[in-house]
Amino acid sequence: MTEMQDEVIKTQWRNATMVLTAIAAVILLVFFGTLETLILTWWNKPEYNHCLLILPIIAYLIHERREIFHKVAPEPYWLGLIPLLGGGMLWLLGDLADANVVRQFGLIILIQGCLLTILGKRVVLALLFPFFYMVFLIPFGDFLVPPLQDFTTAFVIMMLNLLNIPVFAEGVYLSIPAGDFHVAETCAGLRFLIATVALGTLMANVAYKTVGRQATVVVLSFIVPIIANGFRASGIVLIAHWSDMKYATGADHITFGWIFFAIVLMIFISIAMTFTNRGVHEGYIDFSKKYWTTNKTTSIRHFVLSFIFTAIAVGMAPTYATIIEQRYQTFNNSTVLLKENIWGYDVSNVTNWKPYYEGASQIFHHQQGNIASEAVDIFIAYYKYQSKGIEMIRHGNGVVPQDEWGRIASRKINDVTIAGSYVPVNEELIQSGSYRRLVWYWYWIDGKIITNKYTAKLIDAKAKLFGGRLDSAVIALSIPVNADNIDQKREVLSVFAAKLPLLETIVSK
């Protein structure tokens, strides 16, 4: 490389660094709320504490590839505006639906689009893995908790059966001669799983250079923590059983769990490192190839233009979100009220089944007043307009009160008749002590009945974008059950649901 080429590379990196710094300031200003929520999630939620290490890891990965700063000159790449705008649109959908994970995914894609636009495709290809590794900055994975709970429960039952220990299971509740156990959400192993996947993906890139071995390590990083959590939960139950519930039942089961996970993690790393094939000082890119040696001279004018277009693209989604929010604030202040006593039933007596929906405009909890043994509760949480901080589907809201109730089983029931139409509903069998209830519930968004909470979020965002209905609700029916009459009680709920009117027919404006 000639001295002139070396100077060109230095100059263009200096110009690109100034533009990146300015764009970083714009992103910090425009997306401060999203960034704040992201960082607070890393800090406050234990299952995502590992995200605090991702930025230092990305910095290390870039340092390992620092040769590119002397070999490859950055140059603006205008097609980078496509993922930038796509990330902005995803952020906008997440903002309208108030879905933090969608907002955060959109922001990360937007940042990646900024890097591609300003630095160019060759620099991004040279830094492809750290570029991709940014996905682990996003605290996602909560949707895996129910299947992880179910797998862990099944694993524990299998282990107890192998040891001939009698066990009675219902949902995520287990009973053995020594006592009762609940495979709670915190016991599902999500924390260990996502941290191990992040570590395994890092190891796959740093320690291996062939795709086969990289894929093997990534797959193992998924399988090992799930199996290990099954052994951990089984170990806790067995220790409690053999010690007559003296050990592994209180805070010490958490200590036992972390010691076990630390041992498993060391074993995983030790095994994975036995078949590494990347040398300690072996580089990631062969810079002798022509693709990496051909550097174009880019004037500062192009970098200035890249800043202008990138800054405009960055600001488009938040600006449009503000316009939409202002447009619909008048709707939130209008008199859209659900008519009282429309169901014709007496208000329910105080029960320990109390769904929680913060921020609802109106909440109704009625009970059928005819035959006490067939009494059906109907719960409605009605939202005139969902906005930031006042959203129907959010952490803490739900038809299963988390403090007093536990989930035994969940499923979707198709072809339930509501207002003359066949629709699906969600079913939850829940328990509080010896008391059980069967709950059917669904969401009413933009005049449609929806069962999936992610689809509900998307439909709500679509309604705001394209002028649909802005009010929404969650409707839940519940009835006491026992193990012998659940099918009979399902039939009672089915008959009751068929008599419900369309919600839009009982909303006054």
Q: How far apart (Å, rounded) are the C-alpha atoms in residues 257 and 21? A: 43
Q: Position of tokens 């008199």?
A: 335
Q: Which of the 8 DSSP states describes residue 287?
A: T
**Coil/strand/helix, residue 292:** helix
- The pTM of the full predicted model, rounded to 2 decimals, is 0.79
The CATH number assigned to the domain with range 337-508 reads 3.40.1000
**179 phi-psi bin (left φ>0, alpha ψ -120 to 50, beta other):** left
Residue with tokens 């939850």: 428
Each domain of the chain, given as residue ranges in start order, spans: 3-139+299-327, 143-275, 337-508
Give, for all 509 residues of the chain, the pLDDT tens digit.
Answer: 567 677 888 889 999 999 999 999 999 999 999 999 999 999 988 888 889 999 999 999 999 888 888 888 899 999 999 999 999 999 998 888 878 888 999 999 999 999 999 999 999 999 999 999 999 999 988 888 888 888 999 998 999 999 888 888 877 888 888 788 878 777 778 888 888 999 999 998 888 888 888 898 999 889 988 998 898 888 888 888 887 777 655 555 666 767 777 888 888 888 777 778 776 667 777 777 777 777 788 888 999 999 999 999 999 999 988 887 776 666 555 545 555 555 555 555 556 788 889 888 888 888 765 544 577 888 889 888 887 778 888 878 888 886 778 788 888 988 888 877 888 999 999 888 778 899 999 999 988 899 998 889 889 888 888 878 888 899 999 998 887 888 889 998 998 888 887 777 666 65
pLDDT in tens, 128-179: 999 999 999 999 888 888 888 889 999 989 999 998 888 888 778 888 887 8
Beta bridge partners of 480: 437
Phi then psi for residue 90, to 5 deg, are: -65, -40
